[in-house]
Amino acid sequence: MRLEIPRYTERFGAVRIHEVLKVLELDSGPGDEEMPGLAVKRIPEALLAEVESQTAIVIPIRNEPLHLFEGVLSGIPHRCPIIVISNSDRDPVDRLEVEEDTFSQYCYFTQRKGVLIHQRDPELAKAISAAGYTDLLDEDGLVRKGKAEGMILGIFIARMLQAQHVGFIDSDNYFPGSVWEYCRIYAAGLALARTPYAMVRVLWRFKPKATSDERIVFKRYGRVSERTNRFLNRLMSTNTGFESEIIRTANAGEHALTMRLAELLPISAGFGVEPFHFTSLFKRFGALLPTNMPEVIDKGIDVFQIESRNPHMHENKGDAHVRDMAVEALATIFHSELCGPELRHEIMATAVQEGLIQEGDAIQAPRVYPPLGPFLDSFMELYAGDLERHYVPAGGVWQSL
């Protein structure tokens, strides 16, 4: 893969946010020279392969069409371990069983191994509870529903598989080719990182939308992303005094993190999970509030934003869903300690004006889960026996990554 290297970076304390990088070649040919140039970098296939083998891909799934799930699986590079976290209905049809069949068949014929777990599995909840990560559990003692909660489980399991990085891929993607590209982008970005604390966020080149007269428009940004980007940039500028447009991946569902970074970040519930990465990085490492992690401050945090070549097309979940997502994203900024009264007022006014909430309604604070780091060791110990039950193909023992 050949891509631009960052020519412009904005710093917010220890957080280095690199401008959006474009992919120049999806495949940059054989050979292992990196060919450093002034503005372009070639990431050799061997290096991509090495990083891929260290990157567990977590696929959250809830009641998606099987055709989409199958397509997504086919796009994950062979070397990446796959972890599927399902919250699909078990009743009236046991969708989990169907997903397990699909995944087993895929793993069998492609000669790879994976893990598939239902988010509401009681044994899993027991281990989470015994490890002390009780915020994740609901009143029934099971792991809460939600994509972010599935992602947290994915990080726990990725760590058990000794992955050094973890990347997320939604299961409702129509284009396997874009899934493949996102995973390559993760590997390329992680290979560029100069610190153990790095994050790669995908910016879609286009998001095709069908119009009422049956044309397709290749839109650059969705409304939600445009608005969240704007307010996150405002959050930075109201604290630094310099206007900024550097953040363009506020809602990047497709993103990857080094495990070292994944362990130390709190995670927001709901669909504010991606913008919350930024607000919590700013809070903890933005040099505005005290922090007790000198190692991270010293090494810094790299945030790469990389633009894909493939367009992104996924299931249309309806307007109400998009509205909820928009409010949850804004809530992470609105409730950030770094958000002053003026910006809060602006966010509120925009949310009302754009019909996301009614005048007088509150913007609910997101539920925030604590960083996983302190709970990982005991979870791994407690869950080791049960994890084998979820290896696919059944009975397969996970071989070292």
Task: Using CB under 5 A, list all residues that contact Mg ion.
Answer: 172, 314
DSSP 35-89: ---SSEEE--HHHHHHHHHTEEEEEEESS--HHHHHHHHHHS-TTS-EEEEE---
Q: Give CA–CA dist 264/279, Å, rounded.
A: 14
Binding partner selected for residue 253 from Mg ion, ligand GDD, none, CB under the kind-specific 5 to 8 Å limit: ligand GDD
Degrees, nearest 5: CA angle 60-63-69: 60
Residue nearest to Mg ion (CB): 314
Q: Give CA–CA dist 195/88, Å, rounded.
A: 37
- Closest approach, Cβ 314 to Mg ion, in A, equals 4
Contacts of 89 (CB under 8 A, 6+ apart): 63, 95
Q: Give CA–CA dist 390/26, Å, rounded.
A: 34
- Closest approach, Cβ 64 to Mg ion, in A, equals 9
User: What six digits make up the tokens of 106?
Assistant: 């895929």
- Closest approach, Cβ 394 to Mg ion, in A, equals 29
- List the x/- string, 65-94, binding to ligand GDD by CB under 6 A: --------------------xxx-------
64 binds ligand GDD (CB under 6 A): yes
Residue among 85 and 330 whose Cβ is closer to ligand GDD: 85
Q: List, in sequence order, every residue forming a beta bridge with 74; answer none if it has no partner.
A: none
Contacts of 385 (CB under 8 A, 6+ apart): none
- Closest approach, Cβ 260 to Mg ion, in A, equals 28
Residue 234 and residue 336 in contact, taking contact as beta carbons nearer than 8 Å? no
- Closest approach, Cβ 170 to Mg ion, in A, equals 5
Q: Give CA–CA dist 158/152, Å, rounded.
A: 10
281 binds ligand GDD (CB under 6 A): no
* Closest by Cα among 169, 3, 200 to 80: 169
Residue among 22 and 314 whose Cβ is closer to Mg ion: 314
146 binds ligand GDD (CB under 6 A): yes
Binding partner selected for residue 10 from ligand GDD, Mg ion, none, CB under the kind-specific 5 to 8 Å limit: none
54 binds ligand GDD (CB under 6 A): no
Residue among 40 and 66 whose Cβ is closer to Mg ion: 66
Binding partner selected for residue 150 from Mg ion, ligand GDD, none, CB under the kind-specific 5 to 8 Å limit: ligand GDD
106 binds ligand GDD (CB under 6 A): no
Q: Give CA–CA dist 252/350, Å, rounded.
A: 21
61 binds ligand GDD (CB under 6 A): yes
Q: Give CA–CA dist 64/147, Å, rounded.
A: 13
308 binds ligand GDD (CB under 6 A): no
Q: Give CA–CA dist 322/250, Å, rounded.
A: 15
307 binds ligand GDD (CB under 6 A): no
- Count of helix runs (H) and strand runs (E) in the chain: 13, 16
Phi-psi group of 132: left, alpha or beta (phi > 0 → left; psi -120 to 50 → alpha; rest → beta): left
List the one residue from 54, 119, 279, 305 that touches ligand GDD (CB under 6 A): 119
List the one residue from 28, 102, 171, 305 that touches ligand GDD (CB under 6 A): 171
170 binds ligand GDD (CB under 6 A): yes
Question: For ligand GDD, how many residues bind (rule: CB under 6 A)?
Answer: 26
* Closest by Cα among 201, 176, 184 to 256: 201
Residue among 43 and 276 whose Cβ is closer to ligand GDD: 276
Centre a 10 Å sphere on the Cβ of residue 180 and count the other Cβ atoms it contains: 18
List the one residue from 11, 209, 317, 389 that touches ligand GDD (CB under 6 A): 317
314 binds ligand GDD (CB under 6 A): yes
- Closest approach, Cβ 69 to ligand GDD, in A, equals 9
- Closest approach, Cβ 317 to Mg ion, in A, equals 6
Chain residues binding ligand GDD by CB under 6 A are: 60-62, 64, 85-87, 119, 145-147, 150, 170-172, 222, 251, 253, 271, 273-274, 314-315, 317, 321, 325
